[in-house]
Structure 1
């Protein structure tokens, strides 16, 4: 394996301007890929992520709540790079409350961003992905294990990604495209800090005594996007510190 296993590859990462997404962008770029990524709000933060990644990292303004934004982002990435080899569906939101306390707007946002936008991105990317193409969904360990109340709808959306991944593996294999689903556990980000108010409860459910890092998730994504992972498809793979085992 070369020191830059993704040299010559092109990638689109949705929701890549912060947290886990920024870690994925950084690692793909470090491993040689040209990376486009979407952001919904802060242009300054997105441009900082692109500058830090170096190479040909490129920020695209796109709100995953809106289908046309996702369609446009895929087209812009493919046009900029002359094609697409890797799609990472990372954009996601979570609202945590009992099903009776969640608003329908909150529920619709999770369904739209966590599930529907991934479907749109996959459908659009298939016009550009060829032999050796990779689709990597970022799910959650909560799809399998939700050890506290208030996460039922979020867990359902991440379970949908796992089911989508399994189903599409058979559709995509004849085209030489693999699809996988990564299920992170608690990861230290600004939205879910390792010293935040919920951290002690999460750590109590884990085998390890720490949160994961965005860099660790990024490394896992890069491996699945690379040549050594060509025989992995349809799988949901945990990177969770033993959450709920």
Structure 2
């Protein structure tokens, strides 16, 4: 049966857990050759192994998204093995919750290096392969924190705002190569990253805030958005934001 990503090679960062893991599994089911990348080497290898056991194609690499040499090594190996890169999902990220009074300079630098610089480097290093192929789709996982403020997580908000505007300017720059660049802005998603905010009914209610659907999303609900942007179904969409937040930002 034809899948929505048949024949495409997709690199997904942060693929050891949460949204990245589910995206890797879904993309593989839809026919993609998946490159699961994460700094958590053992966990991401297990993700790729399980995908292969399910009858799909996947390989895994250890990747520190903040390091140029890691990106170059991964992309070179992918092109050597599969000849191209069609899709990049810049999913890797961290979520410290410190506000402006308590955040340290070290925390700021670490968050920006992973959440913002990591996406910049990913785009930079897949670009030659996508230019050679004459097309590509790059998906930056931002957040509703890149659209609104919450009075906490100052470095996280800054990094996700950077992701949003990085997406728009690179989309304009790369359109001439038929490379599309879009961002996804999840709201409250049930992953390990936010598990402390969903530990009981009271904390969950507080975390959901203005989410009009009244529940957290499951990672698959974000993965389907990424699948759409990775597929040819979104061929006329670039430089835009796909907000998957249950209506958090609607009010």
The normalised TM-score by structure 2 is: 0.91
Secondary structure of the equivalent of 2:25? helix
Q: For residue 71 of structure 1, report the CA deviation from its aligned partner.
A: 2.3
CA distance in 2, matches of 1:58, 1:103: 37
2:175 counterpart of 1:177: no
Q: Are residues 1:51 and 2:52 paired?
A: no
Question: Per the alignment, do residues 65 and 126 of structure 1 end up closer, same or farther by CA in structure 2, a change over 3 Å counting?
Answer: closer
The residue number in structure 1 matching 2:137 is 134
What stretches of structure 1 of length at least 5 have no aligned partner?
Answer: none
Where does 1:102-113 land on structure 2 (aligned, <5 Å)?
102-113=103-114
TM-score when normalising by structure 1:
0.93
Contact 2:45 2:61 in 1 (8 A): no
RMSD: 1.6
Q: Kindly provide the CA deviation profile for residues 186-243 of structure 1, in whole angstroms up to 9, marking residues without a partner as x.
A: 1101222373264221223211111111111111111111111000000011001111
Does the aligned pair in 2 maintain the 1:185–1:241 contact within 8 Å? Answer: yes
Q: Verify the 8 A CA contact 2:99 2:152 in the aligned structure 1.
A: yes
Q: Tell me, yes or no, if the aligned pair for 2:13 and 2:89 is still in contact at 8 Å.
A: yes
Distance 2:78 2:12 in 1: 10
Change (3 A) 1:140 1:40: same
Q: Is the 8 Å Cα contact of residues 132 and 230 (structure 1) preserved in structure 2? A: no
Deviation at residue 42 of structure 1 after TM alignment:
4.5
- Alpha-carbon offset, residue 65 of structure 1: 3.1
Structure number with higher relative contact order (C-alpha < 8 Å, ≥ 6 residues apart)? 1
Number of residue pairs matched by the alignment: 242
Q: Does 1:227 align with 2:232?
A: yes
Instruction: Give how far 1:67 is off.
Output: 2.5
Kindly indicate whether residue 248 of structure 2 is the aligned counterpart of residue 243 of structure 1: yes
**1:127-152, Cα deviation, whole Å (9 max, x unpaired):** 101333101100001111233x2222
Identify unmatched segments of 5+ residues in structure 2. Answer: none
Q: Summarize the alignment of residues 28-107 of structure 1 with structure 2, pairs less than 5 Å apart.
A: 28-43=27-42, 45-54=43-52, 55-107=56-108
- Give the CA deviation at 1:3: 4.2
